[in-house]
Amino acid sequence: MAYIQPRKDKDGNIISYSVRVFKGYAPDGSQLKPYTASFKPDPNKTDRQNEKALNKFAVDFEEKCRSGLVADSRQTFAEYAEYVIGLKERAGAKHKTILSYRSFMPLTVESIGHLKLAEIRPQHLNNFYETLSKNGIRRTQGRATAKRDIKAMLKQRGLTIKKAAELAGVGNNTLSTVCNGGNIAESKAQTIANLLEMPMSKLFNIKRDNTPLSNKTILEYHHFISVVLEQADKEMLIPFNPARKATPPKQKPHTANYFQIEDVERIRDCLELEPLKWRTFVHLLLISGARRGEIAGLKWDVIDWRNSRIHIQNNLLYAPDRGIYEEATKTEESDRFVTLPAETMELLKEYRKWYLVQASNYGDQWHNTNYLFFQEKTGNAGKPMHPDTINGYLDRFSERYHLPHINPHAFRHTMASVLYFNKVDSISISKRLGHSKVSTTTDIYSHIMKEADKQSAECIANVILRPKTDPCEKKQNKTKAGFDRNQAC
């Protein structure tokens, strides 16, 4: 039942009525702020008429509250955003999505968090996006590099790297990195400075990124705000979603970089000199076109030996609050079967034999997780490896053989380019890549499609307009992906 309370002026005359409706309790048990509305008596009506109108107003207001038709005008964006993030998490949103939402909160709350939902206008959002595009907006930690010989300083104090890391509360790798001249997080550097009882400024150089956020990142902020306000629109807390009418920056077209055929051949030759584990991992990246985490998440039971294919259904990820964890693929369409050539299946058979030998050698120290690609350190042997491990390996691999920088995702783009230059249709390519929409595939590879279309024009000309030219003649002129321009003829 609505609670009605009169508001009086200093002379005791009633000027209006406050109508409040109980809203309920928060998850922590605290009582939520009630719905409120004001009723102002009509001076041209009698007291009885105004009383009747007030009671009707209170009944109607309570009914609207119970039906979810009343906006809580006092709820701020910051309060409601926390509610929406919790709602999405309970609804099963991916953990990385929730982490990204939370990472957007500090700057967003700083700018529009104090605004009530009903007050937010497109102009507020446009001003926020402009702020994000300015220098010095980042709130990320700086990176620290040592000014002095940290290793020698530890030795003077009779400390090994392992012991010092334990005392400082940092990982062995972190301390080893800084001792070898690498950079570490500013917060980690501070703990090391505390251990050595020296001012941070005398031990480390700190470099901070003062560049503005990219259009891509600003669009991610826009998406987060839109998700929050869209939920408010669904719950009828606001008349419309102002994010729909805002003007975020346009994302610059992204050109998918792929390897030239000469690079692929060089990488393949160098891989023959590498351990079987890494040779198999990189081979699968190139041939399947799968994402890094999808390959890292493969288990032996997803290999269909009879039909020469793998079932990609998991993604291996890392988050600071969870460590290494497994999650379903990026989208429903990413859950897919990918057929592999005979050469790849033979390599997998060879790798399977090696895998079983390793499991046997570790004995009781082996963790039988069934992942194809595993950690080899004692104590963790058999456990899934960190997804970033492949990036570290490829960096070292590139340096070892003087190859150009290799990003795992470039293998995915290379496979797609190979298929396009061989006239495979976009629908088939999209399915192999696991894209949720064919338009995603065509948007990413539009420049490759244009180049492939030029080859098609040459092919038609060779057949129809240049009858003296043998359309099946092989030429030495190759495209980036390494396919003869007349191959389709």
The secondary structure of residue 316, as a DSSP letter, is E
Please compute the mean of the pLDDT values over residues 327-342 and round it to a whole number: 90
- The predicted-structure confidence for 20-70, as pLDDT tens digits, reads as follows 998 877 666 788 778 888 999 999 999 999 999 999 999 999 988 877 666
Outline where 401-445 has alpha helix (H): 408-421, 426-433, 438-444
Residue 172 pLDDT: 83
b/e code 26-41 from CB counts within 10 Å (16+ = b):
eeeeeeeebbbbebeb
* Homologous superfamily of the 143-207 domain (CATH): lambda repressor-like DNA-binding domains (1.10.260.40)
Residue 76: pLDDT over 80: yes
Please compute the mean of the pLDDT values over residues 125-131 and round it to a whole number: 97
Residue 463: pLDDT over 90: no
CB of 434 closer than 8 Å to CB of 314: no
Closest CA to 479 of 404, 418, 429: 418
Domain 259-489: give its CATH architecture: Orthogonal Bundle (1.10)
Please compute the mean of the pLDDT values over residues 261-269 and round it to a whole number: 92
Please compute the mean of the pLDDT values over residues 447-467 and round it to a whole number: 79
Residue 25 pLDDT: 78
Q: How many CB atoms lie within 10 A of CB 125?
A: 24
Please compute the mean of the pLDDT values over residues 68-88 and round it to a whole number: 82
Better-predicted residue by pLDDT, 336 or 449: 336
77-136+213-245 placed in CATH 1.10.150.130: yes
Better-predicted residue by pLDDT, 349 or 460: 349
Please compute the mean of the pLDDT values over residues 129-149 and round it to a whole number: 88
Please compute the mean of the pLDDT values over residues 98-123 and round it to a whole number: 95
Least confidently predicted of 40-44, 45-49, 337-341, 469-473: 469-473
- Secondary structure element (H or E) that encloses residue 301, with its range: none
Domain 77-136+213-245 identical in fold to domain 143-207: no
Residue 370 pLDDT: 96
Residue 217: pLDDT over 90: yes
Task: Report percent pLDDT > 70 for the chain.
Answer: 93
- The predicted-structure confidence for 384-394, as pLDDT tens digits, reads as follows 999 999 998 99
Average per-residue pLDDT in the chain?
Answer: 89
Better-predicted residue by pLDDT, 405 or 482: 405
Residue 340 pLDDT: 96
- In the chain, the N- to C-terminal Cα span, in Å, equals 80
Please compute the mean of the pLDDT values over residues 155-159 and round it to a whole number: 93
Residue 475: pLDDT over 50: no
Residue 466: pLDDT over 80: no
Closest CA to 263 of 143, 383, 398: 398
pLDDT band of residue 477 (cuts 50, 70, 90) is: very low
Task: Report percent pLDDT > 90 for the chain.
Answer: 64
Residue 482: pLDDT over 60: no
Least confidently predicted of 77-91, 94-108, 121-135, 321-335: 321-335
Please compute the mean of the pLDDT values over residues 470-483 and round it to a whole number: 47
Q: Which of 66-75, 336-345, 376-385 has the highest mean pLDDT?
A: 336-345
Residue 457 pLDDT: 80
Q: How far apart are CA 59 and CA 67, in angstroms?
A: 12
Q: Give 263's contacts (C-beta < 8 A, 6+ positions apart).
A: 403, 404
Handedness of CA 29, 31, 33, 39 (dihedral sign): positive
Q: What is the dihedral of CA 74, 78, 80, 82, to 10 degrees?
A: -150
Please compute the mean of the pLDDT values over residues 85-100 and round it to a whole number: 93
Residue 68 pLDDT: 60
Q: How far apart are CA 382 and CA 369, in angstroms?
A: 6
Residue 241: pLDDT over 70: yes
Residue 254: pLDDT over 90: no
Residue 348's Cβ-count burial label (10 Å; 0-12, 13-18, 19+) is: buried
Phi first, then psi: give them for residue 44, nearest 5 degrees: -90, 0
Helix (H, G, I), strand (E, B) or coil at 372: coil
142: left (phi over 0), alpha (psi -120 to 50) or beta: beta
- The predicted-structure confidence for 189-198, as pLDDT tens digits, reads as follows 999 999 999 9
Please compute the mean of the pLDDT values over residues 299-325 and round it to a whole number: 94
Residue 137: pLDDT over 60: yes
Domain ranges of the chain: 3-66, 77-136+213-245, 143-207, 259-489
The secondary structure of residue 401, as a DSSP letter, is T
Please compute the mean of the pLDDT values over residues 130-150 and round it to a whole number: 88
Residue 487 pLDDT: 43
Residue 479: pLDDT over 50: no
Outline where 215-312 has alpha helix (H): 215-234, 261-271, 276-288, 292-296
